[in-house]
Structure formats: C-alpha cells, structure tokens
Structure 1
C-alpha cells in the first residue's frame, strides 16, 4: 500500500461544518496539527485542553479527538497514512514550541508541502513525502526537547480507557452504564471523572461519538436511513430519527437533503 501524505488548513479539514472536527471521532491517518494564529480547544484521549499559537499536536491514527477552533484560529494539518517509511508517534503529543527557529522551521516545511499541493509540478507526491519525512524528524527532535510530559493520573487513565471502549463499541446497543460496568466503576464515578477531564459527562461523550458517525453516514453516503440506524445499534429507524431530531434539531432525511443541497454545484 502506498503511503499517502496531504496538507491542508484547519478550515479545509473541517469542510465548512463544525461537527466534522467538533464531535469526537477518529481519523484513519496520523495527523500533525500546527497552530499559527488564535486559539482552539481539543479533546484528545479523553482530556480537554486549550491550544494556542505554536502548539504542535500529534493525533495518532485511531485516537479519539474533537477540535474546536476559535474564530481567529489558523493552522495547518498534515495527514500521513500509517504503515509506511514515514513514521509518526503512536502516542498523542501536545507540544508547545518556544524556540523561534524551531517555529520557523516547521512553518516552512508545511508551507513547502502546501506549495507542492497547489502547483501542478512533476514528482509532487515524492516531494510531499520527502517534506513529510523532514517534518517527522523535526517532530522527534521537538519531543526530545520537550520535558513537560507527566504520567497520567488514575482519573486520566480511566477516561482514556473509556474513550477507547467507546471507539471499539459505539456501534453496539450499549449505554454508558454498560461501559462503566466493564471498567469496574460506577456510572456516577465515570461521569464525575469525565466531567473533570473532558468537560462533559460520560453519557455526552458516548452520544457525541455516535452523532459524528451518524452525520458522516447520512451526509457523506447514500445508504438508507434505516440501515444507518441498524449499523449504529438503534433498535428502529424511528428511535434513530428521534435521537437525531433531539440532538441536531433535524431529522436524518433533512440532514441528508441539506448536505446534498450544500454540495450541489451552483
């Protein structure tokens, strides 16, 4: 399998809709996010934190995250598929880059990748891969220089485990209490630690992951609504419709029609 590399802005990554980044989900590719302007909030491995200028964030493929950029936020994201010569960390990283030379070096590499993407030049894919390899060298050096990583607390480890279970099983007809039982804690305790770490309840985290999957299936695909409901563990299409109406204000059919209308050429 050929390893794929791409570069885009945060705005391009969101494809013009807040839910694509703002609801918890995973990516099939590793992502390196570089904030160059403004602020954002990220939920990563069950922990919510603020981001600012010159933060570099590694989101490994398959890691649950949600990103909420502020109105003035600008940044780049490089996506690199796994299983290839360009190696990315297998653990999430949030790095604050203070050295101006390191800041300029990463910005320059990402801007060079963007130029290769925008210009129709021979061997553009090879050039992208070469720049991405240099980006990962920069990243490994930055990780060595960063001394802020601490051992996760027990609460953090619990929320990370809960996030991983959600990603594994959110398509099954399981409620939050089922996950709490599997983790060996009470629903009350799980809710408390999720609220502290993620800024939302344990039930909200599960609902939002389901919402992202539902909207992606409805707005990007054309399988029948009843099939989407079944794939996500809902007992009936009617229950699924009520769920979507409650959380988005629109029925599944209305969401699909709105997305198709927005995508239609003028």
Structure 2
C-alpha cells in the first residue's frame, strides 16, 4: 500500500522546515520504512552521518553535504536516520516565472546533488524558526531563501540547452498529467504546438531520450509502483494505465522491465 501524504505544515506559509530527528520523533513506528507518496516537494539535506533513501525504485546514498529532491507524486522510502533538515513546500510556493520555480516543475531535473549550501540552509532555517505569523514580508523572505537554496543545488548540475530544456520541461509536465490516457507522441506534440520532430529534438538535447522513450518509461514506472505497492488485479491496473487489453499491458511491461507483471509483483513481496 502506498500512503498518500498531504501537506500539513503547522504554519500557513506553504513551506515547512524541520530536522530529520523531528520527523523520526513524530512518525509512528515503521511509518518511514513504508512507501509514501507526498503531494508536495521535499528536499532532504544531510549535514551529518549517512543514510540511504529509495525514490521510485532507485536507492540513493546520502552523506554529509548531500541533498535529495523528492517531487510531488513520487514514491519514497526512508532509510537509516541521519542528521540534517527536511524542507517541505507546496508546488505553488515558489515565485512564478523564476528559474527556481522552473526547476521545481522539471520532473526530469535535479534529483540528487552534493553542493556547499550550508549558508543557504542555515538562513532558511533561521528565518523559518523566527517566523510566527504569515505576514507578506515573512512569506516572501522564505520564498527567496528557498530559491537561493535551490539555485545553489542547481549550480552543481550540468547546464542544458535553454530552449530545448524549456520545451522538454513543458512536455514532462504534460506527460505527468496525461500519461495514463495518452501514449502517442503526436498527442503531446499537438498539445504543445510543435511537430513531433521538433519535440523529439528537444527531448534528445535536454534529456538524451526520445519522447516515446519518456512516455514508455513513465508508464513502466507507474506500473511498477502499482504492482509493488497495491493489490489491484493486473487487468484493473492495465485499464487504469490506458491499456484496453490486459495482454497488451503484460507485453508492454515485459518488454520494458524484462519481467511479466505477475513475476515482478511476486518479487517485491516478502
């Protein structure tokens, strides 16, 4: 079962900053070791010790100076307890039109990084701890400090072609919304106002893959999530992902993961 986690910050800023120790103290036994699907962004900033964090079937080793960005809708599982901060923020918290907001909307963007962001982290925590009332000045200050932190992380990732990256980001956002009902590249190209060839060039330049690869990868990822963390029958799961014929879904899943759905599901269970 995947627990869907809503945003429930104690202060109505749209952002929450807490220590990893505080999270472990609040969480019921075993909760952090089970799959969760937050409806918000989560930045995990490790300042001491080490931990592993599972994110959509990828395991990340995080040590001092490491950061991990969990985006809304991704499935995560916490590992060992480390020292550091967690920054939780809603998708619309960052200032629209800024590069930090663009990075937050880019689901194919920054995931894990090692960057010297201690001054930005401390400044954000200090301002958050100081804020008690949701005044305009305090909210804007938190927005800007969070943007500084995100830009500091982004500075340590490779640059991408701006035009290609912009179109690719728009494609990823549309894909995230419609992947379960639209499986063909022509649909996305048409909705974005470009030819399929132009869209393909953009995704190749920005992410090194074709739009069709991205569509298939997103479908396969969601299928793995549902098979691993729910008990829905394969036929029902297939319809949920836009496959009219369960056998077509089974063929698709086998091609893209190397295992039939039933075998994959069995391998994820104790």
Q: Do these two structures clear the TM 0.5 threshold for a shared fold by scoring above it? A: yes
Query: Is residue 219 of structure 2 the alignment partner of residue 210 of structure 1?
Result: yes
- 1: distance between equivalents of 2:205 and 2:226? 31
Provide Cα deviations, 1:191-217, integer angstroms capped at 9, x if missing partner: 111111112221111111111111111
Residues 61-94 of structure 1, C-alpha deviations (whole Å, 9 max, x = no match)? 36xx899xxxxxx9967363649xxx66772367
Q: How far does residue 36 in structure 1 lie from its aligned partner after superposition?
A: 6.1
Matched ranges for 1:95-244 at <5 A: 98=116, 102=119, 105=122, 140-141=144-145, 143-144=147-148, 153-244=162-253
Aligned to 1:78: 86
Report if aligned partners of 1:28, 1:81 keep a CA contact under 8 Å in 2.
no
1:5-55 deviations in whole A, cap 9, x for unaligned? Answer: 78769xxxx9799xx9xxxxx8512211336699xxxxxxxxxxxxx9846
Question: 39, 46, 50: which is aligned to 1:28?
Answer: 39
When residues 157 and 204 of structure 1 are mapped into structure 2, their CA distance, relative to the original with a 3 A threshold, is same
- Measured against aligned partners, the alpha-carbon deviations of 1:155-183 in whole angstroms (never above 9, x if no partner) come to 22211111111011111043112211221
Pick 1 or 2: higher relative contact order, CA cutoff 8 A, min separation 6: 1
Aligned length: 206
Distance in 1 (alpha carbons) for counterparts of 2:257 and 2:168: 26
* Unaligned ranges ≥5, structure 1: 21-25, 39-51, 68-73, 110-126, 131-135, 262-266
Instruction: Quickly say closer, same or farther: Cα 1:232–1:195, change in 2 above 3 A.
Output: same
Aligned pairs (5 A) from 1:50-65: 54=65, 61=72
Q: Secondary structure at the match of 1:34?
A: strand
Secondary structure at 1:222's aligned position in 2? coil
Q: CA deviation at 1:256?
A: 1.1
| SS across alignment from 1:233 | coil
2:8 maps to what in 1? Answer: 3
Cα offset, 1:226, TM superposition: 0.4
With over 3 angstroms needed to count, the CA separation of the structure-2 counterparts of 1:228 and 1:89, relative to structure 1, is farther
TM-score for the superposition, normalised by structure 2: 0.56
Please, what TM-score do these two structures have when normalized by structure 1?
Answer: 0.57
2:56 counterpart residue number: none
Q: Structure 2 regions of 5+ residues with no counterpart?
A: 1-5, 10-15, 22-31, 51-62, 77-81, 105-109, 133-139
Are the equivalent residues in 1 in contact too, given 2:120–2:148 (CA < 8 A)?
no
Residue 154 of structure 1 deviates from its aligned partner by 2.6
**Contact persistence 1:29–1:79 (CA under 8 A):** no
State the shift of 1:185 in Å: 1.6
